[in-house]
Amino acid sequence: MRGFLASSIGVTCAAALALPLTPPALAATARPVPTTEVATAARPAPHAGTPDTTKTDRRAAEPSAAGSTQSLPLEPLTRNRATPSASASASASVEQGLSRRAVRRFSLVGVIWDDPHAELHGRVHVRTRAAGTGTWSGWQDVETHNADHAADLDTPESTSGRVRGATAPLWVGDSDGVELRVRSELQGTGGRSIAVAAPSLPSGLRLELVDPGEGDEALPGGPVDSPRTGGLNTETSAATDASAANADLAPLGATEITALSRAATEREFYALRAGEPVERQRAKPYVGPRPRIVTRRGWGANEGLRERNFVYTKKVKAAFVHHTASGNKYRCSQSPSLIRSIYRYHVKSMGWRDVGYNFLIDKCGKIYEGRAGGVARPVLGAHTLGFNSNSMGIAVLGSYGAKKPSSAAVKAIARVTAWKLGLYRMNPRGKTYLKSAGSNLYRKGKKVRLNVISGHRDGFKTACPGRKLYGKLGSARTKAARYQGR
């Protein structure tokens, strides 16, 4: 147990020299970089029949290897530009957006606002221009209800002063043009006409356009971020820390943690639990074979973005399953880029300390390490408002309200839960109690009986993880218990 709970600092000090000083995912930071996100003032998109980009446009559109975020303030959308100022102000409170325009290249969009406790009651529609073809997409909905994915109330992460309200992110692929509409609407009227004014939109609305970067090698040109503090040495040290947190499972600098057989996993279990009382060690371990997991280095995390230290909870008693609500228009080969985009959106746009989920799974069933701190350890996430303590969050990339998740994704949920919950002697088909830190379903301090594998909606009134994915959790529980040998 001592090895299992060892301080990441101590592990890092013992092994810092073993990790390459400039891992590929961080090579882009070897040159001076701006210290702030860049808001691009772009010209309108070309009219039909004209070239898609000029030479200057192409230079501005070059992606940054380390990634970047364009943050554009929204503008009032009025039908008549001659509208008196009072009417314009009233209009701005219910409808804002951005006219069609060219921008630097990006792949993911989201809308943020100043107050993390304010809700956006309405609809967000976006359309984008494909960078390769110049073709404009149709209008797409952006999921507006996202506050349920967050750090628990009154925790250092939620009270940092950096956190902002936000929609879910939407993956749109490689794009270089955008148009946006945000309109306030009454909620829950059931289609009935009610003579009540629509609620005002939150203040400080901005469109975030996220370029995930390359994640492997530096490209010349393009704006990038600096780490929160320090420079290249700090970022390299942060990468060492993140890798060292998995030192019991994989070599330093590994891009993946390999799968193990059941027998090898049981030997690993006893090694990790060496500090437990003898009678506990004699109990038969029900732990599923360790699955293959792509590490943060494997998906190209820029470790300079997140907060440096790791935060742990006591144990892992439950797993909450989510969907990212980011759309299903991604290829599995794009999953690392999508994860880098979500990571950047969570940290740079929403103000979180790191990506919120402990694991992410793509539709091909590949499992990815989420929040830094070690995949076998009880890392405190920001995934299920009210129930982040003593739990872990698993997000399937995509939207699963109307679309069924792939069988590969459901199997991956079962595999990672069979292993991780098994390390803490939890039965995937069982029930457990968690104390609420406060949600819209359960008051703070209430002990709540939950499935060991629960959906996000079991702890918070939300549509997540989508009706179709939620319907597959029974199958995931059964599979996970079978992987554990129950």
Confidence of residue 417 (pLDDT cuts 50, 70, 90): very high
Average the pLDDT over 446-457 and give the result. 95
The pLDDT tens digits of the residues spanning 125-163 come to 999 999 989 999 999 999 998 667 678 778 888 888 899
Distance CA 65, CA 213 (A): 4
Does residue 300 contact residue 340 with C-beta atoms inside 8 Å?
yes
Q: Classify burial at 402, counting beta carbons within 10 Å of its beta carbon; exposed 0-12, middle 13-18, buried 19 or more.
A: exposed
Whether 382 shows a pLDDT value over 50: the answer reads: yes
pLDDT score for 67? 92
pLDDT score for 274? 76
> Which of the listed ranges 40-54, 89-103, 146-160, 471-485 does the model predict with the highest average pLDDT?
471-485
State the DSSP string of 403-433. Answer: SPPPHHHHHHHHHHHHHHHHHTT--TTSEEE
Distance CA 126, CA 129 (A): 10
Average the pLDDT over 243-263 and give the result. 96
Average the pLDDT over 361-368 and give the result. 98
Average the pLDDT over 301-308 and give the result. 94
pLDDT score for 409? 98
Q: What is the pTM of this model?
A: 0.82
Does residue 169 contact residue 341 with C-beta atoms inside 8 Å?
yes
pLDDT score for 112? 97
Residues 6+ apart with CB under 8 A from 154: 437
pLDDT score for 87? 52
Amino acid of residue 77: L
Least confident of 22-31, 113-122, 172-181, 228-237: 22-31
The pLDDT tens digits of the residues spanning 206-252 come to 999 999 998 643 333 334 454 555 556 777 899 999 999 999 999 99
Give percent of the chain with pLDDT exceeding 90. Answer: 63
Average the pLDDT over 399-426 and give the result. 97
The pLDDT tens digits of the residues spanning 7-21 come to 444 444 444 434 443
Whether 44 shows a pLDDT value over 50: the answer reads: no
Distance CA 394, CA 413 (A): 8
Confidence of residue 72 (pLDDT cuts 50, 70, 90): very high
Give percent of the chain with pLDDT exceeding 70. Answer: 75
Per DSSP (E only), the strands in 134-216 are 140-142, 165-166, 170-184, 206-211
Q: How many CB atoms are located within 10 Å of the residue 322 CB? A: 25
Whether 195 shows a pLDDT value over 70: the answer reads: no
